[in-house]
């Protein structure tokens, strides 16, 4: 039995007490992955941004809001895990300054300065010491080439390429790439079945 950490859902980066930057990630892929690994008898911990879905009974879920909170929670939980699957869509940027009060209109528009947030998977992989790291890549063009570069940059042991059409959908198309540039195959269908396929790839290549 392995202990698996799954990051899931979006994060939010507030610019004032009521407004935030985020994306439309629903957490459905993370939920399906949690179900697949639980069904196979593994222990699952989920770190999730704000989502409307409910994660399966039997996994430990910790909710966070920002990318930095997700990173801190992930570092803590990864310490007791055998591997991580980064199914989350964390915000890559946050406002450099968060206003204490609601920003009011001035008639002159608003310029936001954004700074980069930390990369959670890359940070976990930098200290993986024998543990495995699986990433996702959601690309609007040059999918395979970008996914391969992302896998190298983030030191993933497997990367799952999917498409923007998968966001908030119950269906997805996935292709798994290995660090040698090879592929383990492509799957098109429900996220539930895609998660089972990802589980099988992880079982075959990474679980010992």
Give the residue numbers marked as catalytic.
23
Check residue 147 for interaction with ligand C5P (CB under 6 A): no
Check residue 31 for interaction with ligand C5P (CB under 6 A): no
Helices within 57-190 (DSSP H only): 67-78, 120-125, 143-153
Buried b (16+ CB within 10 A) or exposed e, 119-152: bbbbebbeebeebbbbbbbbeeeebeebbbebbe
How many residues are given for the chain? 208
Whose CB is nearest to ligand C5P? 86
Q: Which of residues 68-97 bind ligand C5P (CB under 6 A)?
A: 86, 88, 90, 92
**Which is nearer to ligand C5P, 100 or 140 (by Cβ)?**
140
Of the ranges 14-22, 49-57, 136-144, 175-183, which one interacts with ligand C5P (CB under 6 A)?
136-144
Say how far apart CA 139 and CA 179 lie, in whole Å.
18
Among positions 94, 150, 191, 196, the unique one binding ligand C5P when judged by CB under 6 A: 150
Nearest to 125 by CA among 96, 152, 97: 152
Check residue 138 for interaction with ligand C5P (CB under 6 A): yes
Check residue 121 for interaction with ligand C5P (CB under 6 A): yes
Among positions 125, 135, 191, 198, the unique one binding ligand C5P when judged by CB under 6 A: 135
Say how far apart CA 135 and CA 37 lie, in whole Å.
16
Residue ranges that bind ligand C5P, judged by CB under 6 A: 7, 67, 86, 88, 90, 92, 117, 119-121, 135-138, 150, 154
């Amino acid at each position: 039995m392995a202990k698996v950490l799954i990051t899931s859902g979006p994060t939010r980066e507030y610019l004032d007490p009521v407004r935030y930057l985020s994306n439309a990630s629903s957490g459905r892929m993370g939920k399906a992955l949690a179900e697949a690994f639980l069904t196979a008898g593994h222990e699952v911990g989920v770190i999730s941004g704000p989502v409307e879905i409910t994660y399966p009974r039997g996994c430990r879920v910790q909710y966070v809001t920002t990318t930095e909170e997700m990173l801190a929670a992930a570092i803590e939980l990864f310490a007791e895990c055998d591997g991580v699957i980064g199914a989350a869509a964390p915000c890559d940027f946050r406002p450099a300054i968060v206003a204490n009060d609601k920003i009011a209109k001035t008639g002159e528009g608003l310029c936001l300065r954004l700074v980069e947030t930390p990369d959670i998977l890359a940070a976990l992989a930098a200290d993986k010491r024998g543990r495995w790291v699986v990433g996702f890549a959601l690309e609007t063009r040059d999918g395979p080439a970008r996914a391969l570069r992302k896998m190298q940059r983030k030191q993933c042991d497997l990367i799952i390429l999917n498409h923007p059409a998968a966001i908030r959908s119950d269906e997805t198309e996935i292709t798994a790439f290995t660090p040698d540039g090879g592929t383990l195959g492509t799957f098109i269908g429900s996220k539930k079945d895609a998660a089972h396929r990802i589980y099988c790839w992880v079982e075959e290549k990474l679980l010992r």
